[in-house]
A and B are shown apart, each in its own frame.
Chain A
């Protein structure tokens, strides 16, 4: 899958807000990429866009999302419906409300197979049973209503449903934000096992340590733009962008006396984004040019970074 200079605009009353502005990246089969950013950086909007589920008044105003050779932005509704769930699946942030409260979990899961694989109800139920087994949920879950399950169990159900059709891509939008750390570990292991079976994972989170522990590559977003993208190890060991550095410094470390340094200031009001580099008002290394011209998107080895510092150090656009 690849995304090319994607642009998503919210038509708000106070004007247009570009939530995602010229994001490009590609994702290989069986690769796990994590998108990291603060609230409002456009990371969730990006995830919804790949599903073509950007909530109004948001609109995809430019770019391309190529999946399996098709541009998702040009597909008609019927084709899109077939792709959703079957080829691309999504797991949402809040497991408490992502299941219909009035219907048994088993029925909701079984209907997936009826719809996407044309199975009859009996076979579909068997497949739902297998799906629950694969996430190590007991069989009685199938006959339960969502309110009878814990948050972790519900998220497992959602992942079981997302996994069960063996999608080529799984988008997980902060799937563990509402859950405790132990449950989080279990959910991440599930995602990893999916990855090992060849599913690409796109995880959206604001938790950098989560990203560092599990993903192959990390993309850092700031105010709708790409800040830095690179292999997890490179990015964590040698961050190129001052924002990435700032994020890494602000993560507390249990095993050392390293001082936690927060990034000063707040993310910009997206109605009036600062000119030039959007990070420059908060950037400790800001130069004159940063406030005047938007930094180029540079490729250095296998990394992508958008910062004037790197342009000075001989990166090629």
Chain B
């Protein structure tokens, strides 16, 4: 299944190697549990975080203890609270980036695949040239032109992932177009727009869902990378990528907890999406066999 080959994702590669060993059901359950836990964390952040994540206190560089479960950082902020609040930024950015990518990539892909012709060739060329860039490099370039803000990060991620949705949608549309039920719909007087909306789009959804979860896993890593480089949020906003970077200087001197917990969260969340995506991809390819 083309389009699912997110070759740049480390998790994708790792999982490909191990997926024969892990049953699909377990993969899906673990993945969805991680995602749901992070989503709940983001939604109920004000209720569950023990401290104000932005307030600096004199309790600096305290290791994990019963009062600060993940310790405190160099300006005395509670790391647990920052980790909890940080989930909001990353989820929002990745989600809005994905929505923009889908909103642009899917209609263009359907159009390209269904209508064909010169527009299709031009669009494919543009999309392929975007796709040719390493995603992180391209995202960095766009983000640094636009300036640091969560919205701009979302935009630059969206640009990076538009070709993924476009290529997948176009390919699927090409094969759906040849299905007899599309021909039959035409023979009953259905117009092109109607066929694209009512027959092509719904039949794309399973694949879109898989590509969404896999590219979300990838986007999480990229987002963290951008904020690590200071291209996303400005302090004191809590953000996993940014906090990872902030604690880096202290890591070698033994204050490991400042970077460790945000890093762990990034890894877990990306893993969650990758697991769900792989499990669903497996389901679909079994179903289509």
Contacts and interface: CB of A to CB of B under 8 A. Distances in A.
Contacts of A102: 202-203
A81 interface: yes
Contacts, number: 59
Interface in B66-92: none
Given A100-B199, A101-B203, A85 B188 contact: yes
Interface stretch (B102-110, B175-183, B238-246, B269-277): B175-183
B184 A84 contact: no
A53 B181 contact: no
A100 B187 contact: no
A234 interface: no
A53 B186 contact: yes
Nearest to B178: A55
Counting chain A CB atoms within 10 Å of each CB, which of B179, B181, B185, B198 scores highest? B181
B181 A84 contact: no
Contacts of B183: 53, 92, 98
Chain B contact patch, size range? 10 to 19
A161 B202 contact: no
Nearest to B202: A102
A115 B181 CA distance: 17
Given A100-B199, A100-B203, A90 B189 contact: no
Contacts of A90: 184, 187
A161 B188 CA distance: 9
Report whether over half of chain B's contact residues are helix, strand or loop; otherwise say mixed. Answer: helix
Contacts of A103: 198, 202
A102 B189 CA distance: 20
A287 to B, nearest CB: 43
A112 B188 contact: yes
A116 B191 CA distance: 12
Contacts of B40: none
A83 B189 contact: yes
Contacts of A219: none
Which range contains the number of A residues in contact with the other chain? 20 to 34
A197 B188 CA distance: 20
A283 B180 CA distance: 37
A115 B186 CA distance: 12
Interface string A73-105: 000000001111110011011100111111100
A158 interface: yes
A100 B199 CA distance: 7
Given A98-B180, A112-B188, 17 more contacts: A53-B183, A81-B191, A83-B189, A84-B188, A84-B189, A89-B188, A90-B187, A92-B180, A94-B180, A97-B180, A100-B181, A100-B198, A100-B202, A100-B203, A103-B202, A115-B190, A116-B189
18 contacts: A51-B186, A51-B187, A53-B186, A83-B189, A84-B188, A84-B189, A92-B184, A92-B187, A93-B180, A97-B180, A97-B181, A99-B184, A100-B199, A100-B203, A112-B188, A115-B190, A115-B194, A161-B188
The 10 A-B pairs with the shortest beta carbon distances in the complex, nearest first, are A85-B188, A85-B189, A84-B189, A90-B187, A97-B180, A98-B184, A98-B180, A100-B181, A102-B202, A81-B189
Interface of B: 179-181, 183-191, 194, 198-199, 202-203
